[in-house]
């Protein structure tokens, strides 16, 4: 009897088990990959490759690893032109593009002051550290395409790719999966996800988190073939005297941005949705939605500082239907 039961289970296993997933803690966040593939060995190899790629991007762009290409650039670029990899040069170009679109709301040089926050220890920059606000300006990052080299025009300029690197890693992994024949899958690193295809006849469902109630969703989005990124002031923060200090910094002041609690951006690639979710958070409702509406293929949900939800035009039209 028991033998028959086991045989029955084995008979149904392959169909159910053709979804393969893996999870790991990388880039200071939870990385998750889910894919459909008939071939178990190929699936396992792709999951290995996905995690190796996440680690590679982390090793290259982490500001916490002294050996990373980013750390080396920060160390030297105020003094001299520093040749960089194609990958870093391209990413810096994309970051600059979003800075231009947003009038500097997205600005990787925010870290000139932002580096002095410690959200675990509850530390804000002191007056002297805050003075580095004058080193914040994306135009201080000079890019020389002919030499693929980078220089900082201000001695205190310091950059951090935390607002765009996870999306980049997600796109890189998605490209590996697609090249490996995956037609249905999802890749996420913290709040940045890329959905490949549908969930075999059904859409994928991505929740929009209530910024003030952990685990409660204010919306569930049915999605296919898209990238989605969320930025929130509940991710890394501390409170002092009733004020919330969190990790998304207004480059104009060096202080945490306070025009929103949560922003979700939808688009074709995660590098862009990642950068834009951070951007719209800094811009707030009015300027944020205006930018989303201006950009082709970009939609946004902004939860304002009072907890009200605002939608970009295309989403509002969808909801109204
Ligand atoms: P995200 O969770 O994608 O919104 O990214 C937040 C991260 O982006 C922070 O932890 C910082 O590393 C970085 N960041 C914060 N403020 C800015 C800004 N104004 N422009 C670009 N990157 C930022
Ligand atoms: Mg982001």
Over residues 259-282, the pLDDT tens digits come to 999 999 999 999 999 999 999 999
Is the pLDDT confidence value at 3 over 50? no
Report the pLDDT value the prediction gives residue 319, as an integer from 0 to 100.
81
**pLDDT digits 0-9 by tens, 134-184:** 999 999 999 999 999 999 999 999 999 999 999 999 999 999 999 999 999
Q: Once rounded to an integer, what is the mean pLDDT over residues 195-214?
A: 96
- Rounded CA-CA distance 211/218 in Å is 9
Instruction: Judge whether 193 and 175 are in contact, CB under 8 Å.
Output: no
> Which residues form ligand 1's pocket by a CB distance below 6 Å?
106-108, 110, 114, 160, 162-163, 191, 231, 235, 247-249, 251, 274, 277-278, 282
Q: Indicate the CATH number for domain 7-11+18-59+167-318.
A: 3.10.520.10
Exposed/middle/buried for 120, CB within 10 Å: 0-12, 13-18, 19+?
exposed
Q: Strands 185-189 and 192-196: what pairing?
A: antiparallel
* pLDDT value for 15: 47
Q: What pLDDT sits at residue 89?
A: 98
What is the best residue among 160, 165, 188 to mutate for testing ligand 1's pocket, by most ligand atoms within 8 Å of CB?
160
Distance from Cα 274 to the centre of ligand 1, integer Å: 9
Distances (CA, A) of 26 to 6, 29, 52, 142, 229: 37, 6, 10, 30, 17
Q: Give the ligand at the shortest distance from the Cα of 281.
A: 1
Report the nearest-CA residue for atom 23 of ligand 1: 163
> Separation of 285 CA from ligand 1 center, angstroms?
17
Average pLDDT estimate for 298-303: 98
CB-based contact 254:136 (threshold 8 Å): yes
Angle at 221 (CA atoms; ends 162, 19), nearest 5 degrees: 80
Atom of ligand 1 nearest to the CA of 282: 19
Contact assessment for residue 266 and residue 228, using Cβ atoms and an 8 Å cutoff: yes
Which three-class secondary structure state does DSSP give residue 247?
Answer: coil
Task: Give domain limits for the chain.
Answer: 7-11+18-59+167-318, 65-152
- Go through the chain and tell me how many residues it has: 321
Whole-number Å distance, alpha carbon 16 to ligand 2 midpoint, is 34
Ligand nearest to the CA of 237: 1
* CATH class in words for 65-152: mainly alpha
- In the chain, the percentage of residues whose pLDDT exceeds 70 is 95
CB–CB of 166/10 below 8 Å?
Answer: no
3-state secondary structure of 232: strand
Q: Cα(101)–Cα(53) distance, rounded to whole angstroms? A: 29
HSE value, Cβ hemisphere, 13 Å, CA-based, for 228:
19
pLDDT at residue 5 tops 80? no
User: Residue 230 C-alpha to ligand 2 middle, in angstroms?
Assistant: 6
Pairwise pLDDT comparison (75 vs 320), residue with the higher score: 75
Band of pLDDT at residue 2, cut at 50, 70 and 90: very low
Centre of ligand 2 from the C-alpha of residue 299, in Å: 14
pLDDT surpasses 90 at 118: yes
Closest ligand to the CA of 98 = 1
Ligand 1 test: best mutation among 29, 229, 248, 270, most atoms within 8 Å of CB? 248
pLDDT in tens, 207-227: 999 999 999 999 999 999 999
How far is CA 63 from each of CA 70, 74, 114, rounded to the nearest angstrom? 6, 9, 12
Q: What are phi and psi of 117, to 5 degrees?
A: -80, 145
**16: CB partners within 8 A, 6+ apart:** none
User: Does the pLDDT of residue 307 top 50, yes or no?
Assistant: yes
- Read off the pTM: 0.94
Ligand nearest to the CA of 161: 1
| 9 has a pLDDT exceeding 80 | no
Instruction: Answer whether residue 1 shows pLDDT above 60.
Output: no
Q: For 28-58, b where at least 16 C-beta lie within 10 A, e where not — what string?
A: ebebbbbbbbeeeeebeebbebbbebbeebb
* For ligand 1, mutation pick of 91, 137, 139, 162 (most atoms within 8 Å of CB): 162
Atom of ligand 1 nearest to the CA of 235: 2
Distance CA 154, CA 73 (A): 14
Q: How many angstroms separate the alpha carbon of residue 164 from the centre of ligand 1?
A: 8
Q: In whole angstroms, how far apart are CA 204 and each of 11, 170, 198, 310?
A: 27, 17, 6, 22
Integer Cα distance of 96 and 78 in angstroms: 18
Atom of ligand 1 nearest to the CA of 164: 3
In this prediction, residue 17 has a pLDDT band, given cuts at 50, 70 and 90, of low
Q: Where are the alpha helices (DSSP H) in 1-39?
A: 2-16
């Amino acid at each position: 009897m028991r033998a028959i039961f086991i045989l029955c289970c084995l008979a149904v296993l392959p169909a159910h088990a053709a979804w393969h997933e893996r999870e790991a803690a990388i880039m200071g966040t939870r990385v998750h990959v889910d894919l459909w593939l008939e071939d178990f060995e190929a699936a396992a190899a792709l999951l290995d490759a996905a995690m190796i790629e996440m680690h590679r991007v982390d090793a290259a762009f982490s500001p916490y690893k002294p050996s990373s290409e980013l750390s080396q650039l920060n160390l030297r670029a105020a003094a001299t032109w520093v040749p960089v990899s194609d990958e870093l040069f391209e990413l810096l170009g994309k970051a600059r593009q979003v800075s231009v679109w947003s009038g500097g709301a997205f600005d990787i040089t925010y870290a000139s002051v932002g580096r002095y926050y410690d959200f675990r220890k509850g530390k804000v920059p002191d007056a002297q550290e805050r003075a580095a606000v004058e080193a914040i300006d994306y135009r201080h990052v000079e890019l020389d395409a002919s030499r693929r080299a980078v220089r900082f025009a201000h001695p205190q300029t310091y950059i951090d790719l935390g607002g765009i690197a996870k999306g980049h890693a997600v796109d890189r992994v998605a490209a590996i999966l697609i090249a490996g024949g995956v037609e249905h899958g999802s890749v996420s690193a913290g709040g940045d996800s890329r959905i490949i295809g549908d969930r075999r006849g059904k859409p994928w469902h991505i929740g929009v988190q209530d910024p003030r109630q952990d685990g409660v969703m204010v919306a569930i989005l049915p999605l296919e073939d898209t990238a989605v990124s969320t930025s929130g002031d509940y991710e890394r923060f501390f409170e002092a005297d009733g004020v919330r200090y969190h990790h998304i910094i207004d480059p104009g002041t060096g202080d945490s941005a306070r025009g929103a609690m949560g922003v979700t951006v939808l688009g074709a690639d995660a590098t862009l949705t990642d950068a834009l979710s951070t951007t719209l958070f800094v811009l707030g409702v009015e300027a944020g939605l205006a930018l989303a509406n201006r950009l082709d293929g970009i939609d946004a949900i902004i939860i304002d500082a009072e907890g009200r939800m605002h939608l970009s035009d295309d989403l509002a039209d969808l909801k109204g239907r």
